[in-house]
Amino acid sequence: MEHHRSDPQGLWLPLITPFRDGALDEHSVRRIVKHYLAMPIDGLILGATTGEGLTLDEWEVEQLVSITSTAYVEVGKRLPLYVGLTGSDTRKVVGAVERMESWPIDGYLIACPYYSRPSQDGLLQHFSTLADSTVRPIIIYNIPYRTGVNLNNDTMMVLAERTNVVGVKDCCADPKQSFELLRHRPDNFAVLTGEDVAFYDALTFGADGGILASAHIQTQAFADVLNEWRHGNRKSALFDWHRLVDLPNLLFSEPSVASIKYWLWRLGLIASPEVRLPLTPVSKGLAHRIDREIERVTT
């Protein structure tokens, strides 16, 4: 497969992983991949946080990649395809990257090590080692409120000098840090927000787009905000965002994977809203709110 080496831009989707009766639901995977290939998205990421990657066996991730790449061929369209990775043992993450080198993917979204809270030097060496282990592009995923460690801008700038460290999914939750990163980042280093509710704000700061779980729902509306902004239609972009911003608030009122799966199940795009423990299904209250919102937007 020809790798997409250009900077990641636009609207990327961290795809959910459908399950049924405890197993990967291949039919639903195929259905949603084809569904989103018809939507205005710019890239797909499999097995990341929204894809419940920490609960997936490696063979299941490989199966996801195989189904997705086959769907690309069947539809006659392909987007950049990345796999989500994380881990607190650099050796094991390197091993995973090396095993995936023969897979038909374009790159990796790699989160900072969780729980161990390494120093900035440890983070630098971790990502440098990973970058040395592959020629494929790497997007760093900086989300300290999940991992317990924040990759600061000084360290990010050093890593950005590497040709295959092409960008960051920025969830640092510090607007000042995000703004300073956008001010000082080198050319050809992309910043994509992963904070769904802050999508519009990130665009105003100069972000290149977003990797947004909420874009599973009302995908076109998220793309419209981005396109209006890109074409200088700031007033229209803000108007569209005002109509859309309550969606991520609703989806993230409980762990978002379950809410997104419930919504897609109600639309008939996946056969089951099942999630894997320790995640649990949406509460009855949230299910009712989602049902009402589906009725509102479809009538």
Per-residue confidence of the chain (299 residues) as pLDDT tens digits? 344 446 799 999 999 999 999 999 999 999 999 999 999 999 999 999 999 999 999 999 999 999 999 999 999 999 999 999 999 999 999 999 999 999 999 999 999 999 999 999 999 999 999 999 999 999 999 999 999 999 999 999 999 999 999 999 999 999 999 999 999 999 899 999 999 999 999 999 999 999 999 999 999 999 999 999 999 999 999 999 999 999 999 999 999 999 999 999 999 999 999 999 999 999 999 999 999 999 988 86
What single DSSP character describes residue 211?
A: E
Residue from 82, 108, 141, 200 carrying the catalytic annotation: 141
Structure tokens that stand for 61 in this block: 């991730």
In this structure, are residues 215 and 248 in contact, taking their beta carbons and an 8 Å threshold? no
In this structure, are residues 51 and 18 in contact, taking their beta carbons and an 8 Å threshold? no
* Predicted local distance difference test score (pLDDT) of residue 167: 98
* Predicted local distance difference test score (pLDDT) of residue 7: 77
State how beta strands 209-211 and 165-170 pair: unpaired
Q: Look up the CATH superfamily of 10-233.
A: Aldolase class I (3.20.20.70)
Cα 4 to its chain centre, rounded Å, is 17
Residue from 169, 200, 261, 262 carrying the catalytic annotation: 169
* Predicted local distance difference test score (pLDDT) of residue 62: 98
* Predicted local distance difference test score (pLDDT) of residue 79: 96
Is 169 among the catalytic positions? yes
3-class SS of residue 125:
helix
Helix 90-100, helix 120-132: angle, nearest 10: 20
* Predicted local distance difference test score (pLDDT) of residue 268: 97
DSSP string for residues in 136-201: S-EEEEE-HHHHS----HHHHHHHHTSTTEEEEEE----HHHHHHHHHHPPTT-EEEE--GGGHHH
Structure tokens that stand for 133 in this block: 């282990």
